[in-house]
Amino acid sequence: MFDFLDGYDVLAAFWMTVKLTVISALGSLIWGTLLAAMRVSPVPLMRGFGTAYVNIVRNTPLTVIIVFTSLGLADTFGVTMGSEDFAVQGFRLAVLGFIVYTAAFVCEAIRSGINTVPVGQAEAARAIGLNFSQVLRLIVLPQAFRSVIGPLANVLIALTKNTTVAAAIGVAEAAALMKTMIENEAQTLAIGAVFALGFIVLTLPTGLFLGWLSKRLAVKR
Amino acid sequence: MKLRKVTAAAAAALVLSLTATACGGDDGDSDSTDSGSSGGGKIKIGIKYDQPGLGLKEPDGSFSGFDVDVATYVAKELGYKPDQIEFVETKSADRENALARGDVKFIAATYSINDERKQKVDFAGPYLLAHQDLLVKADSDITEATDLNGKKLCSVTGSTSAQNVKDDFAPKANLKTVSGYSECLSGLQSGTVDALTTDDSILAGFAAQSQYKGKFKLAGLKLSNENYGIGVKKGDTATVDKINKALEKMVADKAWDKAVQDNFGPAEYKNEPAPKIGVIVK
Protein backbone atom coordinates (compact mmCIF):
# COMPACT_ATOMS: atom_id res chain seq x y z
CA MET A 1 0.00 0.00 0.00
CA PHE A 2 2.53 2.59 1.15
CA ASP A 3 5.61 0.91 -0.30
CA PHE A 4 6.23 3.95 -2.51
CA LEU A 5 7.38 5.76 0.65
CA ASP A 6 10.39 3.44 1.03
CA GLY A 7 13.72 5.14 0.65
CA TYR A 8 12.38 8.68 0.93
CA ASP A 9 12.88 10.91 3.93
CA VAL A 10 9.45 12.50 4.09
CA LEU A 11 9.96 13.72 7.65
CA ALA A 12 13.15 15.56 6.74
CA ALA A 13 11.34 17.30 3.91
CA PHE A 14 8.53 18.41 6.21
CA TRP A 15 11.09 19.49 8.80
CA MET A 16 12.50 21.80 6.12
CA THR A 17 8.95 23.11 5.53
CA VAL A 18 8.60 23.77 9.28
CA LYS A 19 11.96 25.58 9.42
CA LEU A 20 11.04 27.75 6.43
CA THR A 21 7.67 28.55 8.00
CA VAL A 22 8.89 29.39 11.51
CA ILE A 23 11.84 31.58 10.48
CA SER A 24 9.79 33.37 7.82
CA ALA A 25 6.91 33.86 10.27
CA LEU A 26 9.15 35.48 12.88
CA GLY A 27 10.85 37.67 10.30
CA SER A 28 7.62 38.80 8.69
CA LEU A 29 6.05 39.50 12.10
CA ILE A 30 8.87 41.91 12.93
CA TRP A 31 9.05 43.54 9.49
CA GLY A 32 5.25 43.63 9.18
CA THR A 33 4.92 45.37 12.56
CA LEU A 34 7.49 47.98 11.51
CA LEU A 35 5.57 48.53 8.27
CA ALA A 36 2.30 48.94 10.19
CA ALA A 37 3.99 51.49 12.48
CA MET A 38 5.17 53.36 9.37
CA ARG A 39 1.69 53.40 7.90
CA VAL A 40 0.15 55.03 10.98
CA SER A 41 3.09 57.33 11.76
CA PRO A 42 2.84 61.14 11.57
CA VAL A 43 5.76 61.29 9.07
CA PRO A 44 4.44 61.59 5.47
CA LEU A 45 7.56 59.98 3.94
CA MET A 46 7.24 56.89 6.12
CA ARG A 47 3.51 56.65 5.48
CA GLY A 48 4.15 56.89 1.74
CA PHE A 49 6.85 54.22 1.83
CA GLY A 50 4.68 51.83 3.85
CA THR A 51 1.71 52.28 1.57
CA ALA A 52 3.75 51.87 -1.61
CA TYR A 53 5.55 48.79 -0.24
CA VAL A 54 2.36 47.03 0.79
CA ASN A 55 0.56 47.77 -2.46
CA ILE A 56 3.44 46.67 -4.68
CA VAL A 57 4.41 43.52 -2.77
CA ARG A 58 0.87 42.40 -2.04
CA ASN A 59 0.02 42.50 -5.73
CA THR A 60 3.11 40.65 -6.95
CA PRO A 61 2.72 36.86 -7.29
CA LEU A 62 4.82 35.02 -4.72
CA THR A 63 6.37 32.79 -7.36
CA VAL A 64 7.72 35.86 -9.13
CA ILE A 65 9.29 37.13 -5.89
CA ILE A 66 10.87 33.78 -5.00
CA VAL A 67 12.20 33.12 -8.50
CA PHE A 68 13.57 36.68 -8.59
CA THR A 69 15.59 36.04 -5.43
CA SER A 70 17.26 33.15 -7.25
CA LEU A 71 17.56 34.43 -10.82
CA GLY A 72 17.85 38.13 -10.02
CA LEU A 73 19.69 38.42 -6.72
CA ALA A 74 21.81 35.25 -6.85
CA ASP A 75 22.51 34.71 -10.56
CA THR A 76 22.58 38.28 -11.84
CA PHE A 77 23.77 40.38 -8.90
CA GLY A 78 25.84 37.66 -7.27
CA VAL A 79 24.15 37.82 -3.85
CA THR A 80 25.36 34.69 -2.04
CA MET A 81 23.60 35.25 1.33
CA GLY A 82 26.84 34.35 3.11
CA SER A 83 27.17 30.83 1.75
CA GLU A 84 28.61 29.25 -1.39
CA ASP A 85 26.59 26.08 -0.78
CA PHE A 86 23.49 26.21 -3.00
CA ALA A 87 21.34 24.34 -0.48
CA VAL A 88 21.99 26.93 2.25
CA GLN A 89 21.87 29.79 -0.23
CA GLY A 90 18.51 28.70 -1.60
CA PHE A 91 17.06 28.35 1.89
CA ARG A 92 18.15 31.86 2.89
CA LEU A 93 16.96 33.39 -0.35
CA ALA A 94 13.59 31.69 0.07
CA VAL A 95 13.25 32.95 3.66
CA LEU A 96 14.10 36.46 2.44
CA GLY A 97 11.42 36.22 -0.24
CA PHE A 98 8.79 34.90 2.17
CA ILE A 99 9.53 37.65 4.70
CA VAL A 100 9.28 40.35 2.02
CA TYR A 101 5.95 38.94 0.79
CA THR A 102 4.26 37.88 4.03
CA ALA A 103 5.17 41.10 5.88
CA ALA A 104 2.78 43.02 3.62
CA PHE A 105 -0.12 40.85 4.81
CA VAL A 106 1.02 40.97 8.44
CA CYS A 107 1.19 44.77 8.19
CA GLU A 108 -2.38 45.04 6.93
CA ALA A 109 -3.67 42.67 9.62
CA ILE A 110 -1.97 44.67 12.37
CA ARG A 111 -3.17 47.95 10.89
CA SER A 112 -6.75 46.69 11.02
CA GLY A 113 -6.11 45.82 14.66
CA ILE A 114 -4.83 49.33 15.33
CA ASN A 115 -8.10 50.63 13.92
CA THR A 116 -10.05 48.63 16.55
CA VAL A 117 -8.34 50.53 19.39
CA PRO A 118 -10.57 53.46 20.38
CA VAL A 119 -9.12 56.88 19.54
CA GLY A 120 -9.65 57.88 23.18
CA GLN A 121 -6.88 55.49 24.22
CA ALA A 122 -4.29 57.21 22.03
CA GLU A 123 -5.55 60.66 23.03
CA ALA A 124 -5.29 59.79 26.71
CA ALA A 125 -1.79 58.48 26.17
CA ARG A 126 -0.76 61.69 24.40
CA ALA A 127 -2.37 63.69 27.22
CA ILE A 128 -0.08 62.16 29.85
CA GLY A 129 2.89 63.17 27.70
CA LEU A 130 3.91 59.97 25.88
CA ASN A 131 5.54 60.43 22.46
CA PHE A 132 4.45 58.62 19.27
CA SER A 133 6.61 55.54 19.69
CA GLN A 134 5.60 55.18 23.34
CA VAL A 135 1.91 55.50 22.47
CA LEU A 136 2.32 52.78 19.88
CA ARG A 137 4.53 50.48 21.98
CA LEU A 138 2.79 50.75 25.34
CA ILE A 139 -0.83 51.51 24.57
CA VAL A 140 -1.97 50.82 21.03
CA LEU A 141 -0.02 47.79 19.72
CA PRO A 142 -0.63 45.52 22.76
CA GLN A 143 -4.38 46.02 22.32
CA ALA A 144 -4.14 45.77 18.54
CA PHE A 145 -2.25 42.45 18.62
CA ARG A 146 -4.85 40.90 20.91
CA SER A 147 -7.59 41.58 18.40
CA VAL A 148 -5.73 40.32 15.29
CA ILE A 149 -4.61 36.85 16.37
CA GLY A 150 -7.35 35.39 14.17
CA PRO A 151 -6.28 37.20 10.99
CA LEU A 152 -2.61 36.53 11.75
CA ALA A 153 -3.41 32.81 12.10
CA ASN A 154 -4.78 32.95 8.54
CA VAL A 155 -1.59 34.58 7.35
CA LEU A 156 0.50 31.91 9.12
CA ILE A 157 -1.49 29.06 7.56
CA ALA A 158 -1.17 30.67 4.14
CA LEU A 159 2.58 31.04 4.72
CA THR A 160 2.90 27.36 5.65
CA LYS A 161 1.39 26.33 2.35
CA ASN A 162 3.24 29.07 0.44
CA THR A 163 6.58 27.56 1.46
CA THR A 164 6.00 24.95 -1.26
CA VAL A 165 6.96 27.67 -3.75
CA ALA A 166 10.54 27.37 -2.44
CA ALA A 167 10.76 24.12 -4.43
CA ALA A 168 11.01 26.37 -7.50
CA ILE A 169 14.47 27.51 -6.41
CA GLY A 170 15.60 24.11 -5.21
CA VAL A 171 14.98 24.15 -1.47
CA ALA A 172 14.59 20.52 -0.42
CA GLU A 173 11.23 20.88 1.30
CA ALA A 174 8.04 18.84 1.02
CA ALA A 175 6.96 19.91 -2.46
CA ALA A 176 10.44 19.25 -3.88
CA LEU A 177 10.43 15.71 -2.46
CA MET A 178 6.94 15.22 -3.85
CA LYS A 179 8.24 16.12 -7.32
CA THR A 180 11.10 13.66 -6.94
CA MET A 181 8.79 10.87 -5.81
CA ILE A 182 6.31 11.43 -8.61
CA GLU A 183 9.16 11.41 -11.12
CA ASN A 184 10.38 8.03 -9.84
CA GLU A 185 7.26 6.23 -8.68
CA ALA A 186 4.61 7.39 -11.16
CA GLN A 187 1.89 7.41 -8.48
CA THR A 188 0.57 10.95 -8.56
CA LEU A 189 -2.61 10.50 -6.54
CA ALA A 190 -1.24 8.42 -3.65
CA ILE A 191 1.83 10.61 -3.27
CA GLY A 192 -0.20 13.79 -3.56
CA ALA A 193 -2.55 12.53 -0.83
CA VAL A 194 0.34 11.80 1.55
CA PHE A 195 1.73 15.31 1.15
CA ALA A 196 -1.68 16.96 1.41
CA LEU A 197 -2.16 15.08 4.68
CA GLY A 198 1.24 16.27 5.87
CA PHE A 199 0.20 19.88 5.39
CA ILE A 200 -3.10 19.30 7.19
CA VAL A 201 -1.13 17.87 10.13
CA LEU A 202 0.88 21.10 10.19
CA THR A 203 -1.87 23.66 9.68
CA LEU A 204 -4.92 22.22 11.44
CA PRO A 205 -3.49 22.26 15.00
CA THR A 206 -2.01 25.72 14.31
CA GLY A 207 -5.42 27.02 13.31
CA LEU A 208 -7.22 25.41 16.24
CA PHE A 209 -4.69 26.63 18.80
CA LEU A 210 -4.60 30.19 17.49
CA GLY A 211 -8.40 30.26 17.24
CA TRP A 212 -8.63 29.32 20.89
CA LEU A 213 -5.96 31.88 21.78
CA SER A 214 -7.70 34.69 19.92
CA LYS A 215 -10.95 34.00 21.80
CA ARG A 216 -9.09 34.00 25.09
CA LEU A 217 -7.14 37.17 24.51
CA ALA A 218 -9.77 39.21 22.69
CA VAL A 219 -10.28 42.63 24.23
CA LYS A 220 -13.83 42.70 25.57
CA ARG A 221 -15.22 46.12 24.78
CA MET B 1 -40.03 34.00 0.21
CA LYS B 2 -39.34 35.01 -3.34
CA LEU B 3 -35.63 34.83 -2.76
CA ARG B 4 -35.72 31.18 -1.80
CA LYS B 5 -37.59 30.29 -5.01
CA VAL B 6 -35.01 32.12 -7.09
CA THR B 7 -32.16 30.36 -5.32
CA ALA B 8 -33.81 26.98 -5.79
CA ALA B 9 -34.31 27.66 -9.47
CA ALA B 10 -30.72 28.77 -9.84
CA ALA B 11 -29.48 25.66 -8.07
CA ALA B 12 -31.61 23.44 -10.28
CA ALA B 13 -30.28 25.19 -13.37
CA LEU B 14 -26.74 24.74 -12.14
CA VAL B 15 -27.20 21.02 -11.49
CA LEU B 16 -28.79 20.56 -14.92
CA SER B 17 -25.99 22.38 -16.69
CA LEU B 18 -23.38 20.34 -14.82
CA THR B 19 -24.94 17.01 -15.76
CA ALA B 20 -25.33 18.22 -19.33
CA THR B 21 -21.63 19.06 -19.62
CA ALA B 22 -20.64 15.84 -17.90
CA CYS B 23 -22.38 13.90 -20.65
CA GLY B 24 -21.17 16.18 -23.39
CA GLY B 25 -17.55 16.25 -22.30
CA ASP B 26 -16.47 14.02 -25.15
CA ASP B 27 -17.33 15.73 -28.39
CA GLY B 28 -16.27 12.85 -30.53
CA ASP B 29 -12.83 14.08 -31.58
CA SER B 30 -10.93 11.32 -29.87
CA ASP B 31 -10.59 8.56 -32.37
CA SER B 32 -10.75 5.28 -30.53
CA THR B 33 -11.29 3.02 -33.50
CA ASP B 34 -8.34 0.74 -34.06
CA SER B 35 -8.84 0.63 -37.79
CA GLY B 36 -5.66 2.57 -38.45
CA SER B 37 -7.28 4.82 -41.01
CA SER B 38 -9.30 7.60 -39.50
CA GLY B 39 -12.41 9.01 -41.03
CA GLY B 40 -11.61 12.66 -40.49
CA GLY B 41 -11.07 12.18 -36.75
CA LYS B 42 -8.36 13.75 -34.67
CA ILE B 43 -5.56 12.19 -32.67
CA LYS B 44 -4.28 13.68 -29.43
CA ILE B 45 -0.57 13.32 -28.72
CA GLY B 46 1.23 14.34 -25.55
CA ILE B 47 4.48 16.29 -25.90
CA LYS B 48 6.54 18.77 -23.90
CA TYR B 49 6.05 22.45 -24.68
CA ASP B 50 9.22 23.80 -23.08
CA GLN B 51 12.14 21.80 -24.43
CA PRO B 52 13.76 23.32 -27.49
CA GLY B 53 14.95 20.70 -29.96
CA LEU B 54 12.63 18.04 -28.51
CA GLY B 55 9.19 19.47 -27.89
CA LEU B 56 8.64 23.21 -28.06
CA LYS B 57 5.60 25.37 -28.60
CA GLU B 58 6.73 28.27 -30.78
CA PRO B 59 5.37 31.79 -30.17
CA ASP B 60 3.21 31.45 -33.31
CA GLY B 61 1.53 28.33 -31.91
CA SER B 62 3.36 25.79 -34.09
CA PHE B 63 5.39 22.94 -32.63
CA SER B 64 8.97 21.92 -33.26
CA GLY B 65 11.46 19.36 -32.02
CA PHE B 66 12.62 15.77 -32.41
CA ASP B 67 9.79 14.35 -30.27
CA VAL B 68 7.31 16.33 -32.37
CA ASP B 69 8.81 15.02 -35.63
CA VAL B 70 8.71 11.43 -34.36
CA ALA B 71 5.12 11.86 -33.14
CA THR B 72 4.07 13.37 -36.47
CA TYR B 73 5.68 10.50 -38.40
CA VAL B 74 4.05 7.87 -36.18
CA ALA B 75 0.67 9.59 -36.50
CA LYS B 76 1.08 9.58 -40.30
CA GLU B 77 1.69 5.82 -40.19
CA LEU B 78 -1.42 5.42 -38.01
CA GLY B 79 -3.38 7.22 -40.72
CA TYR B 80 -3.55 10.82 -39.52
CA LYS B 81 -2.51 13.85 -41.56
CA PRO B 82 -0.61 16.64 -39.74
CA ASP B 83 -3.75 18.79 -39.58
CA GLN B 84 -5.56 16.00 -37.71
CA ILE B 85 -3.00 15.99 -34.90
CA GLU B 86 -3.77 17.84 -31.70
CA PHE B 87 -0.70 18.28 -29.51
CA VAL B 88 -1.34 18.37 -25.76
CA GLU B 89 1.18 19.40 -23.12
CA THR B 90 2.07 16.51 -20.81
CA LYS B 91 4.43 17.63 -18.08
CA SER B 92 6.64 14.97 -16.53
CA ALA B 93 4.50 14.44 -13.45
CA ASP B 94 1.33 14.22 -15.51
CA ARG B 95 2.31 11.65 -18.14
CA GLU B 96 0.98 8.46 -16.54
CA ASN B 97 -2.37 10.03 -15.65
CA ALA B 98 -2.86 11.52 -19.10
CA LEU B 99 -2.52 8.04 -20.62
CA ALA B 100 -4.63 6.29 -17.98
CA ARG B 101 -7.45 8.81 -18.42
CA GLY B 102 -7.23 8.54 -22.20
CA ASP B 103 -6.52 12.26 -22.66
CA VAL B 104 -3.94 11.37 -25.27
CA LYS B 105 -3.43 8.41 -27.58
CA PHE B 106 0.30 8.30 -27.00
CA ILE B 107 3.09 10.38 -25.46
CA ALA B 108 6.42 11.35 -26.96
CA ALA B 109 7.94 13.64 -24.34
CA THR B 110 11.51 12.67 -23.35
CA TYR B 111 9.87 9.71 -21.62
CA SER B 112 12.66 7.47 -20.30
CA ILE B 113 11.62 3.83 -19.99
CA ASN B 114 12.06 2.50 -16.45
CA ASP B 115 10.60 -0.36 -14.40
CA GLU B 116 8.30 1.74 -12.21
CA ARG B 117 6.77 3.43 -15.23
CA LYS B 118 6.38 0.13 -17.06
CA GLN B 119 3.95 -0.95 -14.34
CA LYS B 120 1.72 2.02 -15.17
CA VAL B 121 1.99 2.38 -18.93
CA ASP B 122 3.15 0.42 -21.96
CA PHE B 123 6.09 1.64 -24.02
CA ALA B 124 6.75 1.45 -27.73
CA GLY B 125 10.30 1.97 -28.89
CA PRO B 126 12.83 3.04 -27.69
CA TYR B 127 13.30 5.61 -30.45
CA LEU B 128 16.33 7.46 -29.04
CA LEU B 129 19.16 6.58 -26.68
CA ALA B 130 20.28 9.62 -24.71
CA HIS B 131 22.84 9.98 -21.93
CA GLN B 132 23.07 12.32 -19.02
CA ASP B 133 25.71 14.90 -19.87
CA LEU B 134 26.92 18.37 -18.96
CA LEU B 135 26.40 21.63 -20.80
CA VAL B 136 29.35 23.92 -20.11
CA LYS B 137 30.63 27.25 -21.38
CA ALA B 138 32.41 27.01 -24.73
CA ASP B 139 35.77 27.79 -23.09
CA SER B 140 35.30 25.35 -20.19
CA ASP B 141 37.91 22.68 -19.48
CA ILE B 142 35.54 20.07 -18.02
CA THR B 143 36.03 16.96 -20.16
CA GLU B 144 35.84 14.09 -17.67
CA ALA B 145 33.41 12.99 -14.99
CA THR B 146 36.16 12.50 -12.43
CA ASP B 147 36.11 15.81 -10.60
CA LEU B 148 32.44 16.77 -10.60
CA ASN B 149 32.45 16.73 -6.80
CA GLY B 150 34.12 20.12 -6.67
CA LYS B 151 31.86 21.66 -9.28
CA LYS B 152 28.75 23.80 -9.11
CA LEU B 153 26.02 21.98 -11.03
CA CYS B 154 22.51 23.02 -11.95
CA SER B 155 19.54 20.78 -12.73
CA VAL B 156 15.77 20.58 -12.33
CA THR B 157 14.15 19.81 -8.97
CA GLY B 158 13.08 16.18 -8.72
CA SER B 159 14.45 15.17 -12.11
CA THR B 160 16.25 11.88 -12.61
CA SER B 161 19.39 13.80 -13.56
CA ALA B 162 19.45 15.70 -10.27
CA GLN B 163 19.02 12.46 -8.34
CA ASN B 164 21.80 10.76 -10.30
CA VAL B 165 24.21 13.53 -9.33
CA LYS B 166 23.30 13.18 -5.65
CA ASP B 167 23.14 9.38 -5.50
CA ASP B 168 25.77 8.24 -7.98
CA PHE B 169 28.52 10.21 -9.56
CA ALA B 170 28.95 13.37 -7.51
CA PRO B 171 27.33 13.21 -4.06
CA LYS B 172 29.51 16.08 -2.84
CA ALA B 173 28.84 18.38 -5.78
CA ASN B 174 27.28 21.72 -5.03
CA LEU B 175 23.96 21.16 -6.76
CA LYS B 176 21.48 23.91 -7.46
CA THR B 177 18.02 22.74 -8.48
CA VAL B 178 15.52 25.02 -10.18
CA SER B 179 12.12 24.58 -11.77
CA GLY B 180 13.16 24.65 -15.43
CA TYR B 181 16.31 24.06 -17.46
CA SER B 182 16.13 27.53 -18.99
CA GLU B 183 16.64 28.97 -15.49
CA CYS B 184 19.95 27.10 -15.24
CA LEU B 185 21.14 28.91 -18.36
CA SER B 186 21.08 32.31 -16.64
CA GLY B 187 23.37 30.95 -13.92
CA LEU B 188 25.60 29.31 -16.52
CA GLN B 189 25.95 32.57 -18.44
CA SER B 190 26.79 34.62 -15.35
CA GLY B 191 29.16 31.95 -14.05
CA THR B 192 27.33 31.19 -10.79
CA VAL B 193 27.21 27.55 -11.90
CA ASP B 194 29.84 25.59 -13.86
CA ALA B 195 27.55 23.21 -15.68
CA LEU B 196 23.94 22.34 -16.41
CA THR B 197 23.30 18.61 -16.26
CA THR B 198 20.53 16.52 -17.83
CA ASP B 199 20.02 14.31 -20.91
CA ASP B 200 22.37 15.29 -23.74
CA SER B 201 19.44 15.44 -26.17
CA ILE B 202 17.79 18.17 -24.08
CA LEU B 203 21.10 20.01 -23.66
CA ALA B 204 21.72 19.85 -27.41
CA GLY B 205 18.33 21.44 -27.98
CA PHE B 206 19.25 24.38 -25.76
CA ALA B 207 22.73 24.74 -27.21
CA ALA B 208 21.26 24.77 -30.73
CA GLN B 209 19.06 27.80 -29.99
CA SER B 210 20.14 30.84 -31.97
CA GLN B 211 20.67 33.11 -28.95
CA TYR B 212 23.11 30.63 -27.37
CA LYS B 213 24.99 29.63 -30.52
CA GLY B 214 28.70 29.32 -29.83
CA LYS B 215 28.34 30.12 -26.11
CA PHE B 216 27.94 26.61 -24.74
CA LYS B 217 29.12 23.11 -25.61
CA LEU B 218 28.36 19.55 -24.55
CA ALA B 219 31.06 17.95 -22.42
CA GLY B 220 30.35 14.57 -24.08
CA LEU B 221 30.17 12.47 -20.90
CA LYS B 222 27.96 9.40 -20.96
CA LEU B 223 26.85 9.44 -17.34
CA SER B 224 23.69 7.36 -17.74
CA ASN B 225 21.50 5.64 -20.32
CA GLU B 226 18.09 7.16 -21.02
CA ASN B 227 15.95 5.12 -23.41
CA TYR B 228 13.23 7.38 -24.75
CA GLY B 229 10.06 5.42 -25.43
CA ILE B 230 6.60 6.31 -26.62
CA GLY B 231 4.11 5.90 -23.80
CA VAL B 232 0.81 4.18 -24.52
CA LYS B 233 -2.11 3.31 -22.27
CA LYS B 234 -1.48 0.12 -20.29
CA GLY B 235 -2.82 -2.91 -22.17
CA ASP B 236 -3.17 -1.21 -25.55
CA THR B 237 -0.81 -3.64 -27.27
CA ALA B 238 -2.34 -3.05 -30.69
CA THR B 239 -1.22 0.57 -30.65
CA VAL B 240 2.22 -0.39 -29.29
CA ASP B 241 2.73 -2.78 -32.22
CA LYS B 242 1.64 -0.17 -34.75
CA ILE B 243 3.92 2.48 -33.28
CA ASN B 244 6.85 0.05 -33.24
CA LYS B 245 6.28 -0.68 -36.94
CA ALA B 246 6.12 3.05 -37.63
CA LEU B 247 9.38 3.66 -35.75
CA GLU B 248 11.13 0.86 -37.66
CA LYS B 249 9.95 2.37 -40.92
CA MET B 250 11.10 5.83 -39.83
CA VAL B 251 14.61 4.52 -39.23
CA ALA B 252 14.61 2.48 -42.47
CA ASP B 253 13.65 5.36 -44.76
CA LYS B 254 16.17 7.75 -43.16
CA ALA B 255 13.47 10.10 -41.85
CA TRP B 256 14.87 9.40 -38.37
CA ASP B 257 18.35 10.62 -39.37
CA LYS B 258 16.89 13.72 -40.94
CA ALA B 259 14.89 14.54 -37.79
CA VAL B 260 18.03 14.21 -35.66
CA GLN B 261 19.99 16.44 -38.05
CA ASP B 262 17.21 19.06 -38.23
CA ASN B 263 16.82 19.39 -34.48
CA PHE B 264 20.25 18.74 -32.99
CA GLY B 265 22.53 19.60 -35.91
CA PRO B 266 23.72 23.05 -34.82
CA ALA B 267 24.81 21.75 -31.40
CA GLU B 268 27.26 19.19 -32.85
CA TYR B 269 25.42 16.52 -30.88
CA LYS B 270 27.05 13.13 -31.32
CA ASN B 271 23.88 11.08 -31.20
CA GLU B 272 23.74 7.32 -30.76
CA PRO B 273 22.58 5.31 -33.78
CA ALA B 274 18.87 4.54 -33.82
CA PRO B 275 18.06 2.01 -31.09
CA LYS B 276 16.60 -1.42 -31.93
CA ILE B 277 12.94 -1.73 -31.00
CA GLY B 278 12.50 -3.43 -27.64
CA VAL B 279 16.22 -3.28 -26.76
CA ILE B 280 16.66 -1.21 -23.62
CA VAL B 281 20.23 -0.25 -22.75
CA LYS B 282 20.58 -0.40 -18.98
pLDDT tens per residue, range A133-191: 999 999 999 999 999 999 999 999 999 999 999 998 889 899 999 988 887 877 888 99
Cβ <8 Å between B174 and A86: yes
| CB B110, CB B51: distance < 8 Å | yes
Q: What is the pLDDT of residue A77?
A: 86
Q: In angstroms, what CA-CA distances link B41 with A85, B31, B35, B82, B237?
A: 54, 6, 12, 12, 21
User: What count of residues does chain B have?
Assistant: 282
Instruction: Indicate if the alpha-carbon torsion angle A86, A88, A91, A96 is positive or negative.
Output: negative
Task: Locate the chain A residue with the closest alpha carbon to B188.
Answer: A75
Q: What is the pLDDT of residue B21?
A: 44
Confidence class of residue B190 from pLDDT cuts 50, 70 and 90? Answer: confident
Confidence class of residue A198 from pLDDT cuts 50, 70 and 90? Answer: very high
High-pLDDT (> 70) share of chain A, %: 100
Q: What is the pLDDT of residue B3?
A: 57
Considering only the beta carbons, identify the residue of B160, B176, B187 that sits closest to A183: B160
Tell me the H-state helices in chain B. 2-23, 66-77, 95-101, 115-118, 160-164, 181-190, 200-207, 237-252, 255-264
Confidence class of residue B164 from pLDDT cuts 50, 70 and 90? Answer: confident
Cβ <8 Å between A67 and B158: no
Task: Locate the chain B residue with the closest alpha carbon to A174.
Answer: B158
Q: What is the pLDDT of residue B4?
A: 63
Mean pLDDT across chain B, nearest whole number? 84
Q: What is the pLDDT of residue B235?
A: 94
Contacts of B242 (CB under 8 A, 6+ apart): B36, B77, B78
pTM of the model: 0.78
Q: Give the phi and the psi of residue B135 in degrees, each rounded to 5.
A: -105, 125
Q: In angstroms, what CA-CA distances link A83 with A163, A165, B113?
A: 21, 21, 38
d(CA B115, CA B227): 12
Q: Answer yes or no: is pLDDT of B215 > 70.
A: yes
At A74, which amino acid appears?
A: A
Instruction: Indicate if the alpha-carbon torsion angle A136, A138, A144, A149 is positive or negative.
Output: positive
Q: How far is B218 from chain A (nearest CA, A)?
A: 21
High-pLDDT (> 90) share of chain B, %: 48
Mean pLDDT of A86-102: 95
Q: How far is A162 from chain B (nearest CA, A)?
A: 16
Written as one string, the DSSP assignment of B124-154 is: EEEEEEE-EEEEEETT-----STTGGGSEEE
Q: Give the phi and the psi of residue A132 in degrees, each rounded to 5.
A: -55, -45
Q: What is the pLDDT of residue A164?
A: 95
Q: What is the pLDDT of residue B19?
A: 45
Q: Answer yes or no: is pLDDT of B22 > 80.
A: no
Q: Answer yes or no: is pLDDT of A71 > 70.
A: yes
Between CA B179 and CA B121, with CA A181 as vertex, the angle to 5 degrees is 105
What strand order describes the sheet that includes B55-57? B50-51, B55-57, B63-64
Considering only the beta carbons, identify the residue of B116, B119, B186 that sits closest to A75: B186
Tell me the per-residue pLDDT of B38-87, one tens digit each, with 9 for 90 and over.
Answer: 456 899 999 999 898 999 999 999 999 999 999 999 999 999 999 999 99
Q: What is the pLDDT of residue B15?
A: 46
Q: Answer yes or no: is pLDDT of B24 > 70.
A: no
d(CA B180, CA A71): 12
Confidence class of residue A1 from pLDDT cuts 50, 70 and 90? Answer: low
Confidence class of residue A65 from pLDDT cuts 50, 70 and 90? Answer: very high
Q: What is the pLDDT of residue B28?
A: 39
Tell me the H-state helices in A59-167. 62-68, 86-116, 119-127, 132-134, 141-147, 149-162
d(CA A41, CA A36): 9
For residue A74, the chain B residues in CB contact (below 8 A) are: 187, 192
| Least confident among B77-86, B115-124, B258-267 | B258-267
High-pLDDT (> 70) share of chain B, %: 86
Q: What is the pLDDT of residue B23?
A: 45
Confidence class of residue A212 from pLDDT cuts 50, 70 and 90? Answer: very high
Task: Locate the chain B residue with the closest alpha carbon to A86.
Answer: B176
